[in-house]
Structure 1
């Protein structure tokens, strides 16, 4: 066997294997049944066409027969009037029409024979279709039962493709769950160590609080200016706010002194002297 022959044999074998796996017996049976029904419909259409043609010829034959009778009457009337020439012409036309009638009768007979043969084939094909339909339904029922039994057996033994897919899905779900749990723990650890704070911004907590203090001071200053412009007792309010601020500052200093670290307070005092 040559290389090309071997290659062709392998390709045909692979294709045949793929087609066998893809083929659904139920679909194949249904398709064959529909094909037979289409053939039956074509035979019925052929019978209808033949019958139509036969009826058309029969109508034409009846008209010719009416003409033959008419020419008979014409010939009799011509004889009564001693017009042999007209009588002869009428008889000639009668003969011509009778010849046409004979031809039509032969054609009608042929069509009738063809129609009878098609009717026999139609009846035979219809009988075959009914027999095939019964066998088709029986085979489909057996196939469905065997397929269901196979699925149950595979599910019980875990050997089926669907069970393998379920097992792989469970494994993937467990892997992703473990990954998410590990990531959540990593985020918590980074949050606790302050790594996120340093990574997301160059400022630390002290810088942010100082910036907030400056922003609050600017807002209070602008608010005082607005009150002064509106003449709503800015001086009294300013004094009151100053007193409260002094009191709060004193309280804050007292609290700070109570809790402050001596080394930090010393360094803070040096910073104040530099300012």
Structure 2
């Protein structure tokens, strides 16, 4: 059968070896996946047809067995009536059915073997499809990763990025100079404020000192008055 031969060729093919040798593994994988799926579909449809043929054959065998039993009973009945001629004729009919039954049995065995082989081939094809799909996903991930790396590195090494970074560096230096200038203003203002704070503290101390002197003078005057009295 052409289908069996084609399936055997696909089963014998090594997916990894095919993809490793291919100039464009993605295209080959896609085509090989189509071929495998087509073969699997044909394999399953052929198996379904064989199963139908098996059931029809089993019905024929069951019907033949009924006829064999019937002619056996007729032969026995004719012999019981001393009709050997009819018994021989019945046995002859029975033998023809038995011979036909042997041919049907051989046909059934051939169908069983073909169906077993097709089921095994279908399992193998399904396994190869699973392996190939996993290989496809691996290729796609690797392709996306390489493209992303290539794009990012080309952008990072482009002159435009260098120019933008240089401009940012220039702006940073400019901002730093402005911040330094602002801090210098704040330092001057802080020094003046400190002088005013020191001036106010000195005034308070002078006032306290004057008040203390006045209190001391009052106490001294009171003491002198008491001594004079």
Normalising TM by the smaller chain, what interval? 0.5 to 0.7
Q: Does 1:77 align with 2:77?
A: yes
Q: Which has the higher contact order (CA 8 A, sep 6+)?
A: 2
Partner in structure 1 of residue 35 of structure 2: 35
- Runs (4+) of structure 1 exceeding 4 A deviation are 23-28, 154-159
- Counterparts of 2:123 and 2:137 in 1: how far apart (Å)? 21
Partner in structure 1 of residue 98 of structure 2: 98
- Counterparts of 2:32 and 2:147 in 1: how far apart (Å)? 21
Task: Identify unmatched segments of 5+ residues in structure 2.
Answer: 1-22, 160-229
Partner in structure 1 of residue 138 of structure 2: 138
**Corresponding pairs, count:** 137
1:83 is displaced (CA, Å) by 2.7
- Counterparts of 2:63 and 2:91 in 1: how far apart (Å)? 17
Compared CA separation, residues 43 and 103, structure 1 to 2 (3 A): same
Alignment check: 8 A CA contact 1:25 1:140 kept? no
- Counterparts of 2:49 and 2:43 in 1: how far apart (Å)? 10
Q: Does 1:68 align with 2:68?
A: yes
- Counterparts of 1:55 and 1:67 in 2: how far apart (Å)? 19
Compared CA separation, residues 39 and 124, structure 1 to 2 (3 A): same
Partner in structure 1 of residue 199 of structure 2: none
- Counterparts of 2:122 and 2:67 in 1: how far apart (Å)? 38
TM-score by length of 1: 0.44
- Counterparts of 2:81 and 2:121 in 1: how far apart (Å)? 59
Partner in structure 2 of residue 19 of structure 1: none
- Counterparts of 2:28 and 2:156 in 1: how far apart (Å)? 30
- Counterparts of 1:84 and 1:25 in 2: how far apart (Å)? 78
- Counterparts of 1:66 and 1:87 in 2: how far apart (Å)? 18
Aligned residues: CA RMSD: 2.5
Alignment check: 8 A CA contact 1:72 1:91 kept? yes
Partner SS for 2:59: helix
- Counterparts of 1:90 and 1:107 in 2: how far apart (Å)? 26
- Counterparts of 2:28 and 2:152 in 1: how far apart (Å)? 24
- Counterparts of 1:96 and 1:24 in 2: how far apart (Å)? 63
Partner in structure 1 of residue 121 of structure 2: 121
1:28 is displaced (CA, Å) by 5.3
- Counterparts of 1:154 and 1:26 in 2: how far apart (Å)? 25
1:64 is displaced (CA, Å) by 0.7
Task: Identify unmatched segments of 5+ residues in structure 1.
Answer: 1-22, 160-275
- Counterparts of 1:45 and 1:81 in 2: how far apart (Å)? 54
1:140 is displaced (CA, Å) by 0.9
Partner SS for 2:45: helix
